[in-house]
Chain A
């Protein structure tokens, strides 16, 4: 338990904290373009990790199973990074919000289940992957590249639900068990067993809506109160 779960988790968290603090301190007064460089590095790291995974899996197991395809819920940030770290376009802000709240959720879910598994090379890869994701999410906040605004929550919700539905459809199409939200998921298996797979996915979408709304709402309320206090102070 200690060696399989706590030690890698602590190492990951230390690495994340190191990455975030070093990057924020060194790039504090840099331009926005330079601030994005660490994210670019992480993006290429993630892609390299993905390729390594594919090669490793096929070379050792002799096949490539659907739960390892890069369309799981965890790999969606990989598709969001290039939208804002190379060139600004109209999807940049959505992509940024896409890689913050979901990243925290994913990391929490990931940590919540890892005590079940033994340490292996793929497991280490997983820790690195999810740690990198979390690091970027925190870095985006600490470097002030992203600002919370209440209106950003709706596009985020739409993109999120579209991604979930897309992976659901793909999962049904292939008949495989894609992502944590596949038919045999360890978290939501009971919902799927009771209501069926598609209904369960709709439930997940609603859950995400509530989550987005509550997080963005609370932050918006806090900001408003802060502003009021400032006005009063003045």
Chain B
């Protein structure tokens, strides 16, 4: 219960803090620099999370059931491609990354095994996971404010999620991470698919509002002279 609360708090406040900072200190190319910095931080944190989890076990030998792997790992790889590839492929990855930015949070909400660990006495891995969720959302917001998302991105995001589902199935069956694929797993997957649509819908709404606001400003300007 408290875990979920803190997850939501951190993943809401992290983007807010970063965006407020961006608004306060208006500098040239700040958005781009923030994206680059956050992406590298994201990668570093993901690696750190792996090592932190590894260091709990004797001789750092991770049993297959406890490998800290989840959608966030895939998200990290996609984020790297989305930020550093400026070609057509990069745009596809951008759309997919932005629309799936809510999925790590959903995965954590439904299944606490993603971040909890029996040996994690100081909750370091948990804190890293929560912060990563915040970072994913922040990067997504910054990318969305820079570049437009097309309707095709829904498809790319769905494909990304499907790839993850297949991978997870493979992992569950071959690494025997869970008993079997449960009903909860399916529900989480469905909610994740819905979240893609929800994110796109919110994005469209925000675009509409921004456009209305802009029109109003232009009208006001015309009236004033």
Contacts and interface: CB of A to CB of B under 8 A. Distances in A.
A touches B in complex, CB < 8 A: yes
A58 interface: yes
A62 to B, nearest CB: 5
Given A59-B174, A176-B59, A64 B64 contact: yes
B159 interface: no
A95 to B, nearest CB: 14
B63 A66 contact: no
A65 interface: yes
A173 interface: yes
B38 interface: no
A175 interface: yes
Nearest to A68: B61
B63 to A, nearest CB: 5
B60 A66 contact: yes
B55 A175 contact: yes
B60 A62 contact: no
Task: Tell me what chain B mostly uses at the interface: helix, strand, loop, or mixed.
Answer: helix
A174 B60 contact: yes
A70 to B, nearest CB: 10
Given A173-B51, A174-B51, A175-B55, A63 B60 contact: no
Interface residues of A, number: 16
B74 interface: no
A55 B14 CA distance: 34
Interface string B62-77: 1110010000000000
A86 B62 CA distance: 34
A170 interface: yes
A63 B61 contact: yes
A174 B55 contact: yes
Nearest to A174: B60
Most buried by A among B59, B60, B174: B60
Interface in A3-51: none
Nearest to A55: B174
A64 B61 CA distance: 6
A62 B63 contact: yes
Contacts, number: 45
Contact of A66 (B61, B84, B174, B175): B61
Nearest to A57: B64
A205 to B, nearest CB: 22
Interface in A111-157: none
A55 B63 CA distance: 13
Contact of B67 (A64, A66, A176): A64
A63 B65 CA distance: 8
A119 B85 CA distance: 40
A65 B64 contact: no
A65 B59 contact: yes
B128 interface: no
Nearest to A175: B60
Given A58-B67, A64-B67, A66-B54, A176 B175 contact: no
Contact of B61 (A55, A65, A86, A170): A65
B54 A63 contact: no
Contacts of A175: 55, 59-60
Interface in B25-70: 51, 54-55, 59-64, 67
Contacts of A86: 84-85
B55 A63 contact: no
Contacts of B63: 62-63
Contacts of B64: 58-59, 62-64
A170 B55 CA distance: 10
Contact of A174 (B54, B85, B174, B175): B54
5 contacts: A58-B64, A64-B61, A175-B59, A176-B59, A176-B60
3 closest A-B pairs (Cβ-Cβ)?
A176-B60, A174-B60, A66-B60
Given A55-B174, A175-B59, 18 more contacts: A59-B175, A62-B63, A62-B64, A63-B62, A63-B63, A63-B64, A64-B67, A65-B61, A66-B54, A66-B60, A170-B51, A173-B55, A174-B51, A174-B55, A174-B60, A175-B60, A176-B59, A176-B60
